[in-house]
Chain A
Amino acid sequence: AQSVTQPDIHITVSEGASLELRCNYSYGATPYLFWYVQSPGQGLQLLLKYFSGDTLVQGIKGFEAEFKRSQSSFNLRKPSVHWSDAAEYFCAVGSPGTASKLTFGTGTRLQVTL
């Protein structure tokens, strides 16, 4: 069974500082990997996804993530955080194929201090 671990429940960074949110997955083959962001009381917005190819994936809002098979990781990064990035971030893994179900991590809450 596939699973996702987000080790950090809560992270606080200063505006302008760099950010890295960790995500580790467990899956028997190469999974589909996603990062979503959720603002309070809102649905989820897709930041980026990895299916295959280049292991460094660029997303929206200046985010990127790198797939590292050897470490079973898909960490999310941003070089300079903005106050508006404060939100909950979810990593998810899906199995290749149509109508794949996603398994979500428990989320990391990002707080940005001014």
Chain B
Amino acid sequence: GAVVSQHPSRVICKSGTSVKIECRSLDFQATTMFWYRQFPKQSLMLMATSNEGSKATYEQGVEKDKFLINHASLTLSTLTVTSAHPEDSSFYICSANSGSGTTDTQYFGPGTRLTVL
């Protein structure tokens, strides 16, 4: 149980285009999903917290107009990188919160490798 999928696993795009990444909780409902960014050989940096049916909460320094997050249902959140540039190239990972009262656990997707040319 507690499987999270991401699509696509890899994407290569031209500078200036927009890219959408999907994150799905396959066997549970997730009221909260998180989006992380990971640079090579570094730790995960939280970008934003996505709550179903409401606006995402962005971490300091993350441009909300650049990284659009939509959490339309309890099993799907999307991250859209708008007008992507080479510096946006990174590994993007989502997680979904399998909360049961106060014993929360985040389950992570396999990640999406974005390369902007």
Contact = CB atoms under 8 A, between A and B. Distances in A.
Interface size class of chain B, counting residues whose CB lies under 8 Å from the partner chain: 20 to 34
Interface in A41-58: 41-46, 49, 51
Given A41-B113, A43-B93, A44-B93, A106 B42 contact: yes
Nearest to B51: A99
Contacts of B107: 46
B102 A101 contact: no
Contacts of B91: 41
B111 A32 contact: no
- Taking each of A42, A49, A90, which has the highest tally of chain B beta carbons within 10 Å of its own beta carbon? A42
A42 to B, nearest CB: 6
Which 4 residue pairs across A and B have the least CB separation, nearest first?
A99-B32, A44-B108, A43-B110, A43-B108
A70 interface: no
A79 interface: no
12 contacts: A36-B108, A41-B91, A41-B113, A42-B111, A43-B6, A44-B108, A46-B107, A46-B108, A99-B32, A99-B99, A101-B34, A102-B34
A104 B44 contact: yes
A100 interface: yes
Given A43-B111, A44-B108, A99 B97 contact: yes
